[in-house]
Amino acid sequence: MKHKILFTLSALWLSIGAFAQQDEIYTQFFSNALVINPAYAGSSEALCAKALYRNQWVGFEGAPKTLTVSVHSPIFRGPSGIGFSVINDKIGIFQNMIFEGAYAYRIEFPQGKLSFGLSGRVKRVQIDWEDTNPLVANDAGIPYAENSSFLPNLGAGIYFYNDNLYAGLSAPHLIENSYAGTTSEEALIRRYYVGTVGGIYEFTDDFKLKPGLVLKYTQNAPFQADINLSAIFYDKFLGGFAYRTNDSFSAMVQVYLNNKFTIGYSHDFNFTKLAAHHKGTHEIFLSYCMPFGKFGVDNPRFF
C-alpha cells in the first residue's frame, strides 16, 4: 500500500513540473513580483497590500490551490524597503505554509533605481496522510506520525527599474532544503534562479503595450519561460495573453478602479496531457496601494 501511494504522489508531482514542486506558479507575475524577488520591496513608492488566489486544474482531484497575501513599502520614504508575504499552498495531501520577510536597499541613478534585496523564510510542509483514503484501515505502511517539516531558507535578488522598464535576477532559495519523506529517501528543494524583464511602451496617452518575460532555471530541469503581452487602455483597463513553455496559454484582464485599487483575473488553458482531465486554471488578483506624496497618484505604476 505504501509504495502504491508513493507512486501516485510522485506521478502527481512530476506532472505539475519541476518548478511547481518547489515554489508556486503565477500567471499575473508582473503584479506580484515580491514573491519571486526580495529586491522588489518598496519599489512601488507606496504601501501596497496584494492578494492572489490561484485555483489550478479545476475539477482535478488534489490539484494545487494557492493563496498569497503580501505587503511591502519603503521605510520612511527612504532608500530602504521592507516586505512580508504569507503563502498557503495545497497540492494533494501536501499542505505548505510559508512566512517570508524581505528587505531591499535602493540606489538611485539618472537612468533609474537599482535595488538589492535579501529575504528569509520558513516553510512548513505538512503531509495529511488521513486524506489518502487507504483500502485497508490503519494500514501500518502509512506513516501517520511523520506529517510535517519546517524548512528555513534565505533568498537574494537585484532589481532595476524606472517608469518605463524593469529587469531583475533572483534566487528565492539559496539553501537546498531537504525533508524526510515517506521512506528513507529525502525530497530535495533545489536552488533555482529567476530572471525578469519587461516594460511599458506608450503609443498614445490612451494606449500602451506592456510586454513581460520570466525565465526560471534549476539544476537537472529545462528552462521555463513565461511570456506575456498586454495592452493598457486609458490607464484603466488591461487585457493580455501569456504563454508558459510546455504548459499553457493564458488570457488575463485587469481593471484599475483608481490609482490605488486594482482587480485582475486570468484563465490558463493547459495543453499538456492533463488538459483532458480538468477545466483550466483560475487566478484572481487584488491590490491596494497608498502612495507616498504625489508619486503614484498622478503617475500610476503598472509594475
All structural domains of the chain with their residue ranges: 2-291
- Using CA atoms in the order 38, 44, 46, 52, what is the torsion angle rounded to 10 degrees? -70
> Measured between alpha carbons, how far is 213 from 229 in angstroms, rounded to an integer?
9
For residue 211, give the C-alpha cell: 510586454
> Measured between alpha carbons, how far is 273 from 11 in angstroms, rounded to an integer?
13
Compute the 3-state secondary structure of the chain and give helix, strand, coil in percent, each to the nearest 5.
10, 55, 35
- Residue 130, phi then psi, degrees to nearest 5: -65, -20
Give residue 18's pLDDT.
41
Give residue 183's pLDDT.
43
> Measured between alpha carbons, how far is 276 from 303 in angstroms, rounded to an integer?
34
| The CATH number of the domain covering residues in 2-291 | 2.40.160.60
Give residue 106's pLDDT.
96
CA atoms in the 13 A half-sphere facing the CB of 180: 9
Give residue 143's pLDDT.
57
Give residue 139's pLDDT.
56
User: Which is it for strands 224-233 and 207-218: parallel, antiparallel or unpaired?
Assistant: antiparallel
Which residues in the chain land under pLDDT 50?
1-21, 182-185, 295-298
161 SS3 class: strand
Give residue 16's pLDDT.
43
For residue 68, give the C-alpha cell: 498569497
Q: What is the enclosing helix (H) or strand (E) of 26?
A: none
- Global pTM value: 0.85
Give residue 184's pLDDT.
39
- Residue 38, phi then psi, degrees to nearest 5: -65, -20
